[in-house]
Structures are given as structure tokens and as C-alpha cells.
Amino acid sequence: MAPTPVEAGLLVVILGSALATAVLRDVLGSIIAFSAYSLGVAMLWVVLRAPDVGLTEAAVGAGVMTILLLLTIAKTVRPSEDRVLASFDPKTLVLVAAFVLALGATVPALPAVGSPDAPVVSSEVSQYYLDHAYKDTGVENVVTAVLAAYRGFDTLGEAVVVFTAGVAVVAVLKREVTA
Amino acid sequence: MTSPWVSDVLLAAAGAFILYAVVLLYRVVAGPTMQDRVIAVNVVGTNTVVVLALLSVALEETSFLDIALVYALLNFLMSIAISKFTVERGGVI
């Protein structure tokens, strides 16, 4: 499945800004490149017809992360050297190369998007939920039914994690304002 | 309804804008000053809004327009945050 020109262009933007985030010496430059990366990924999600994920990516990746990272580096010292690019530890490069190799071997082995042979389509588990979700829970959207009813406790745990993170952020922001 | 010809042209325009975003990445990496980078990313964000609007018409997905609006708001917020931060380092937000 070859990518369309739009997808290919987006992938170049994403890869380029991800590399820029990694190699820029100045952390502020890295944060700026990271927000460009986040916008690219968000666009790709929208092109792949997952607009809700794209919206979350833009709000969290480009919006909240940028502000949190700025708050973090506000308390740190900026390196005074003039070099634009960072230097890398060879060990790190080997580790990253191994990770890329592992991913490169794994991803092509996955079933293609929308493939009729994919386990999620052919499995009887999916069929069970499609048949029983409305009768069991009364929720019309099957994804919502699974998320909020069948695995409700798990979702409650996730909500607690998000709430805790929110409280922590508010606490840090308060301290920033008063200090 | 968008005719296939028009939607092809709109998709090609979206592709051209994405190509433009690739070129802008050079400015993000090269700098030389932080202001250059902030403005480059701001243009990437504006590009995102334009690309989403084009895609929304080409693919006939009106919901993309809502996302484009949210991006426009976020882009503004992000640039303001970074700019204020560079002007009075540490004393903001």
C-alpha cells in the first residue's frame, strides 16, 4: 500500500521535525521543533480519518506539552555554546538503531489497514460485542459500550490517573505564579 | 458536492502546502535566532489550518473544519507562550 502524495509529504514533515527535535542543541529550539512535529502528526491523524485523535494530539502535544516544557526549562540554565547541533553518544545511536530495526521488522508483519483477514475482523470476540453490546449496556456506540461498561473499572482507573496529573499540573502552576 | 476534478486540484494544493511545510523545517533547524524558529513553526501551524480546510472540501468531511478552527486557536496560544517566554525568560506564565 503506497502512501498518497499528501501522506508522503506529511511523513517527511514529521520525520524532519522529529530529527530536528533530537539534534537541536538548544532546548528551546527543541521544544519549538517538537510543536511542529506535533502539528504534523495531528494532520496525519486527520488524513487517516481519526479526527478525534488528531484533535487530542494537537491540544496535548502542541498546546499543553509546549507550555509544560517551557515552565520546566524556565528554571534551568541555557548552554552558552554556539553550536547549533547536539553531539551524540555512540551507545545511544546503537540503541536507537536497534529499536528502529526491531520496529521495521514488526510493523510490516501487521495486517494491512482494513484487511478482511485481520484478527479484529475475523475473530468471534469482535462479533460477540457487536451482537451483545446494545442488549447488555443500552449504549448505541460499541466502542463507548466497551470503554464505559465492559471495562468500566479500567476506565475509572484511567480517569483517576488523568485527574491526578491535572492536580499535579495545577499545583506546579500555582507555585510558579507565587514564586 | 465536489466534482472529482475539483477535489483533485484541492488535494494537489494541499500537497503543495505540505511541501511548503517541509521547506519551513529548514528554517526551524537552521534558525539562526529563536525568533526565526518561532515564526517558522507559526507558519507551519497556519499551513496546518489551510491544509485541513482544503482536505475538508476535497474529502467532503465538514468536521475537519472544526479541527482547523481548534488548530488556529492553539497555534496562536503556542506562539504567544513561546514569544513571551523568550522576552522575559522565566518570569511568565
Whether residue B74 and residue A33 make contact (CB cut-off 8 A), yes or no, is no
For residue A85, pLDDT beyond 80: no
Dump strand ranges (E) for A6-154: none
Domain limits, chain B: 4-87
* Pairwise pLDDT comparison (A59 vs A175), residue with the higher score: A59
Residue B2 CB contacts under 8 Å (≥ 6 apart), including other chains: B10, B57, B58, B60
Q: Does B20 touch chain A (CB under 8 A)?
A: no
The model's confidence at residue A32, banded by pLDDT at 50, 70 and 90, is confident
0.80 surpassed by pTM = no
| pLDDT tens sequence across B26-74 | 887 777 777 788 888 888 888 888 888 888 888 777 877 888 888 888 8
3-state percent breakdown (helix, strand, coil) of chain B, nearest 5? 85, 0, 15
Give the separation between CA B91 and CA A165, rounded to whole angstroms: 24
What span, in angstroms and rounded, lies between the C-alpha atoms of A127 and A141?
14
Closest residue on chain A to B65 (Cα): A51
Rounded Cα distance, A80 and B90, in Å: 17
CB contact under 8 A, B70 and A59: yes
Q: Which of A10, A17, A58 sits opposite B25 (nearest CB)?
A: A17
* pLDDT tops 80 at residue A172: no
Query: Would residue B60 be called left, alpha or beta, if left means φ above 0 and alpha means ψ between -120 and 50 degrees?
Result: left
Q: Do A29 and B81 touch (CB under 8 A)?
A: no
Identity at A134, one-letter amino acid code = Y
Domain boundaries, chain A: 1-77, 116-179
